[in-house]
Amino acid sequence: MPRVTENRLFRLLHLARRPTPWWLALILIILAIPLVQILGALLAGFVLYGLGVRSIGGIQRLTVPGSLFSLIASLFTFGLPLFLLWIWVRWYEKRPFWALGFEWRRGVWRKLLFGLLIGLVAALISGYAAYALGLVRVLGGLSQPFSAALLLAFLVQLLSYVIQSSAEEIEIRGWLFPLLGRHFGVLTGLLLQALVFLFIHSLNEALSPLYLLFTLVFGVFAGLYVLYEGSLWGICALHTMYNFVQFILFLEWMRLRPIADPNILDIVTIPVWLIGIVILGFLLSRRRRTLRGG
């Protein structure tokens, strides 16, 4: 496992004149951000009500208006906490927001494309595996034929998931993880950020133990991913594509329906992320040996 000084993402923490204490960061992530998300969701509800939407569940997500409504919901629910984090980083820590893992350096496009590819492959594996194992059923084909309007709705929904997925990665892996790693060391910080990621997702609804295991495993994988890459470009792209394919293409358009556990598409990817953890752990160990001169 690399040291803090060996990782670019962690070294960027030195740009902060006043780094947030680790305990305060935990309080803000565990308590403040969920409360702000609730406030954002309420504000989104008021805005959507003013636009004539009477039920969030009734939004037709694969229409252009419905996709725009989803985008508004994401902007308030996930964008508001991210905006407040930007204010905190800029005015309390006194460091630029890009220092959370968004340096524009050579290789950014490669990181984005590779992240999109990994997210796509993982999502496709989840859909195929769940279908092959009889864990999902198909409700009579596509919800609607492909068209220019559907493509536009896809693009707007993709933007919505960019906001949602990137917000989680910025808050947990870009901001909290380096603060924890700086105080406790990289390995302990890696485990703590994964546990925080698990805790935040456990607040959503009554979830099965297997889904909680998936969340923990993915949190460890994502932490190792940003350690290896030294930025958030790749993991944000991966997380976005993975969620978009599952929720929009599989569940909304292709009409896959879980038979038992509603989160089965995530659960069946646990082996994928475990393999990723092994590969990333090996690559990080080899890199550390190289830096030490063999």
Domain ranges of the chain: 4-291
For residue 289, name the pLDDT band (cuts at 50, 70, 90): confident
pLDDT of residue 51: 85
Q: What is the pLDDT of residues 140-187, one digit of tens each?
A: 889 999 999 999 999 999 999 999 999 999 999 999 999 999 999 999
Query: Mean pLDDT, to the nearest integer, of 213-231?
Result: 97
Q: Is the pLDDT of residue 43 over 80?
A: yes
Q: Is the pLDDT of residue 123 over 90?
A: yes
pTM: 0.94
pLDDT of residue 1: 57
Q: What is the mean pLDDT of the chain?
A: 93
The secondary structure of the chain, three-state, reads CCCHHHCHHHHHHHHCCCCCCHHHHHHHHHHHHHHHHHHHHHHHHHHHHHCCCCCHHHCCCCCHHHHHHHHHHHHHHHHHHHHHHHHHHHHHHCCCHHHHCCCCCCCHHHHHHHHHHHHHHHHHHHHHHHHHCCCEEECCCCCCCCCHHHHHHHHHHHHHHHHHHHHHHHHHHHHHHHHHHHHHCHHHHHHHHHHHHHHHHHCCCCCCHHHHHHHHHHHHHHHHHHHHHCCCHHHHHHHHHHHHHHHHHHHHHCCEEECCCCCHHHHCCHHHHHHHHHHHHHHHHHHHHHHCCC
Q: What is the pLDDT of residues 81-115, one digit of tens each?
A: 999 999 999 999 999 999 999 999 889 999 999 99
Higher pLDDT, 119 or 4: 119
Fill in the amino acid letter for 115: G
Query: Mean pLDDT, to the nearest integer, of 250-278?
Result: 95
Query: Mean pLDDT, to the nearest integer, of 15-31?
Result: 96
Cα 143 from Cα 254, distance rounded (Å): 6
- For 27, how many CA atoms within 13 A lie in the half-sphere containing its CB? 5
For residue 134, name the pLDDT band (cuts at 50, 70, 90): very high
pLDDT of residue 57: 64
% of the chain surpassing 90 pLDDT: 83
Per the listing, tokens 């993991």 go with 235
pLDDT of residue 294: 52
For residue 293, name the pLDDT band (cuts at 50, 70, 90): low
pLDDT of residue 181: 95
Q: Is the pLDDT of residue 56 over 90?
A: no
Q: Is the pLDDT of residue 3 over 70?
A: no
